[in-house]
Amino acid sequence: MGYKVLIVDDSSTMRKIVMRGIRQAGIEISEAREAGDGVQGLEALEKGEVDIILSDMNMPNMNGLEFVEKVREKYGDKPPIVMITTEGSEEFVAEAMSKGANGYLKKPFTPEKVKDVVGSILP
């Protein structure tokens, strides 16, 4: 058992850090997929369902908000999406949530914060 996770971030370093943060938070991963931008993220979703998506905000080709919109258009309310961003303003959070995000992780973050955010969203 474990969760299928998709990490979407143009930084390979951040993808590794996020994955490590999830593992350090004690959340078991059965399948880890990675994508470098929103376009690749949509392609990764075509390979099968995931339990949660963690997506960066600022990415080339398709940014995080556009990616959330596309996922919601195509797949509805599932899977839950956590935005990863340096932005922490109320305006940004409101916009991300209005597009269909379920939570956000502000960089820099600790494994405890990953656990709080991801753990509160996963069943």
Contact residues for other proteins (CB under 8 A)? Answer: 11-14, 16-17, 20, 58, 60, 85-89, 107-110
Minimum gap (Å) between residue 62 Cβ and other proteins: 14
Residue closer to other proteins by CB (options 13, 123) is 13
Comparison of 2 and 88: residue with beta carbon closer to other proteins: 88
Q: How far is the CB of 43 from other proteins (least distance, A)?
A: 21
Smallest separation (angstroms) from other proteins to the CB of 89: 7
Minimum CB distance to other proteins smaller for 16 or for 74:
16
Nearer Cβ to other proteins (17/54)? 17
The least distance separating other proteins from the CB of residue 115, rounded to whole angstroms, comes to: 15
DSSP string, the chain: --EEEEEE-S-HHHHHHHHHHHHHTT--EEEEEEESSHHHHHHHHTT---SEEEEESS-SSS-HHHHHHHHHHHHTT-S-EEEEES---HHHHHHHHHHT--EEEESS--HHHHHHHHHHH--
Compute and round to an integer the Cα radius of gyration of the chain: 13
